[in-house]
Amino acid sequence: MSLIDKGKQDMGRWRFSTKQAVRGGWDSVACAKMGRNDSAMGVPVTQRERRNNFLLNGLLTTAHTEISKHPRRFIMPRRLNSTEQRTFRAARYAALRSLQYTIAQLRNGHAGVAQRWMALDHPEDLNFLADGLQRIFDALQAIHQDRIFCEPGVNWYAEVNPNQTPHAITLGERFFTTPTYGTDSRAGTLIHETSHFRNVLRTNDHAYGVEECLELVEQAEQSDDDLRKVINNADNWEYLVEHSY
């Protein structure tokens, strides 16, 4: 079964992605919250509503199965040892704390970081982002520690199977050498990976790293299609939180 790899090698992350369309779930929640285009029913819609409907009509509607570009060594993931368990617990606590703070900031209308990383600043959009982060919070908090594994000898951070329930995360060696907080941190890695789950946000990986994500945001200022990619990109959600807390 293919896996989503949050891997990095030297200058950047590597992944090879295949995509498969799905329906329902988060995109339905998002569309219900933000409103679909009712013009076919004779109900006029504003320019912002048209933009939101165009964006959300196809938002987060892709399930993803991704494999490394490089041949994987067939190493059976193992359960965490006691030291790794403590590291994971600290990272999850940091992730949940950061998520709570960012959700509160968005609910209170603080749009600066959202504009920078998600190209959104309208109050309704901020609540939409807060709802998405709440879904990540709930899912990450619910993952039992017995569903966290380690794959030794691999040069990436973490990986998930987005279709798997109950959720599980496999941690690579890079996870244990990065800081708990900050850009591309352990906390951010858990947020990134949890967003991939099909019943959470089922995000994709359209861009990797700070520079590519900011370029995607810049492109989104000109194109709703690129804006949809921003909101469907796992690293943008990660950086939204990492750069808020």
Active-site hit among 49, 151, 159, 193:
193
β pairing state of 16-21 and 12-13: unpaired
3-state secondary structure of 47: helix
* 111 token code pair: 């749009």
Annotated active-site residue 193? The verdict is: yes
* 97 token code pair: 């704390």
Q: How far is CA 228 from the centre of its chain?
A: 13
Go through 158-172 and write b for each residue having 16 or more CB atoms within 10 A of its CB, e for each that does not: bbbbbbeeebbbbbb
- Catalytic residue numbers read 193
